Amino acid sequence: MAGFGWRVGSKVQRWGRSCLRGFSSHAIPSQLENVGFIGLGNMGSHMARNLITAGYKVTVHDINENSMKKFSDDGIPTKQSPLEVSESSDVVITMLPSSSHVLEVYNGTNGLLGAGSRLGPWLYIDSSTVDPQTSRKISAAISRCHLKENKGYAENPMILDAPVSGGVPAAEAGKLTFMVGGLEEAYLAAKPLLLSMGKRAIYCGGAGNGSAAKICNNMAMAISMLGVSEAFALGQNLGIKASTLTDIFNCSSARCWSSDTYNPVPGVMEGVPSSRNYDGGFTSKLMAKDLDLAMASASGVGFKCPLGSEALEIYRKLSKDGCELKDFSCAFRHYYAGKDEE
Ligand code: NAD
């Protein structure tokens, strides 16, 4: 394994599966103790709080002073720039809206790479949803850098792209799923940290593969949500109630997450956004953003996604027509003119 391991006495133990058996799941390895967290929005604020609860020493930064104040009021150290965060951190996590924000936080003035090529933190984790090309660009920049101080356990700084699935309730409950790209030994080392914010971490391969997994997942989710919404609306036009069709789908070949867990028809299922006027879920605007990333990535490799690009048009239209902050399942009512279940 390249360039990474624990130093035990005079011996460096490579950090692979066998080494992970060595420490208790409750102890925080000192290599992960000081965590910088950048991006304290809907997701990041909960993720940072869960790290604090798990015992990590967290330092935070956001361009929004109000978001930082909520942390400073609780005695959590805040910093005015990504560079300042990196000065006191072993690991830096970013949870930002999109690729341009991530590039700004890494490459901008007083950004994470703003002090030149000798870096303080040995590990960077970007959990924002971005395109794989952006993740790979940042990974290449980090791989050209060196560590400011010899850490013993890491010879070079590393980065993982680790976007999440689960949404705000899962972020709050510490039940996110991380899809992780980068060096496998960095993934194994970061796992205790990730599992303080989530219930699962899945290794996807090299740099950018976590981001690729995330946008593929969301493209499939958008298409399946539109598929069941279209079928439920057609069913209503043909005289079949959506609840009857749901029962049939859920024990037949059309069953999917959009039919059995996140049903888009108001009145069919409780506790989902469709039961509360499509408020409080994954917004149409974010879905359009993720589909945009998927289509840009597809065109970057010359691959055609006809259903993905149609889904993007639909979510763009929904966003333009005033539904940008409604949950993405609102396509049933606002695109297909589906009716509430009586
Ligand atoms: P958000 O807009 O609520 O939060 C982003 C935070 O980043 C804000 O507090 C903003 O002030 C801060 N920020 C922006 N630019 C910055 C900069 N240059 N420096 C420092 N801070 C900066 O977004 P969110 O809902 O928390 O989502 C974050 C990421 O997670 C996105 O990429 C999103 O696609 C992804 N995601 C969101 C959900 C969800 O349900 N909200 C689910 C899965 C994944």
Two structure tokens written together for 158: 């590393």
Write the CA distances from 310 to 84, 292, 305, 313, 317, integer angstroms. Answer: 43, 11, 9, 5, 11
**What confidence score (pLDDT) does residue 26 get?**
52
Res 1: pLDDT: 36
**Residue 129 CA: which ligand 1 atom is closest?**
32
Nearest atom in ligand 1 to 130's CA: 32
105 within ligand 1 shell (Cβ under 6 A):
yes
42 or 329: whose pLDDT is higher? 329
* Per-residue pLDDT tens over the stretch 57-103: 999 999 999 999 999 999 999 999 999 999 999 999 999 999 999 99
For ligand 1, pick from 37, 42, 292, 326 the residue to mutate: most ligand atoms within 8 Å of CB.
42
Report CA(268)–ligand 1 centroid distance (Å): 31
What sign for the dihedral angle of Cα 288, 289, 294, 295? Answer: positive
Average pLDDT over residues 254-259: 97
Q: Choose, from 214, 241, 285, 320, the residue flagged as catalytic.
A: 214
Helix or strand holding residue 136 (H, E): helix 132-143
What does the domain layout of the chain look like in residue ranges?
A: 5-206, 213-334
CA 28, 188, 216, 336 dihedral sign is negative
Give 177's strand partners: 165, 200
Is pLDDT of 20 > 50?
no
Considering only CA atoms, give the Rg of the chain: 22
Q: Can you list the positions of beta strands (E) in 148-195? A: 158-161, 164-165, 176-181
The predicted pLDDT at position 194 comes to 98
Compute, in degrees rounded to 10, the torsion defined by CA atoms 231, 235, 236, 240: -140
**Which residue has the least CA distance to atom 31 on ligand 1?**
97
The matching CATH number, chosen from 1.10.1040.10, 3.40.50.300, 3.40.920.10, 3.90.420.10, for 213-334 is 1.10.1040.10
Of 36, 283, 312, 322, nearest to 168 (Cα)?
A: 283
Helices within 12-123 (DSSP H only): 17-20, 44-53, 65-72, 82-87, 99-107
Query: How many angstroms separate the Cα of 139 from the Cα of each of 60, 214, 221?
Result: 22, 17, 28
Residue 289 a catalytic site member: no
Q: pTM of the predicted model, to two decimals? A: 0.89
**Nearest residue by C-alpha to atom 21 in ligand 1:** 62
Rounded to whole angstroms, the Cα distance separating 275 from 269 reads 7
Predicted local confidence at residue 168, as pLDDT? 86
Quote the CA–CA distance of 341 and 176 in Å, as a whole number. 31
By most ligand atoms within 8 Å of CB, the mutation choice from 63, 164, 329 for ligand 1 is 63
- For 5-206, CATH number? 3.40.50.720
Average pLDDT over residues 252-263: 96
110-124 average pLDDT score: 94
> Could you report the per-residue pLDDT of 133-185, keeping only the tens digit for each?
999 999 999 999 999 988 878 889 999 999 999 888 899 999 999 999 999 99
Tens digits of per-residue pLDDT, 296-336? Answer: 999 999 999 999 999 999 999 999 999 999 999 999 999 99
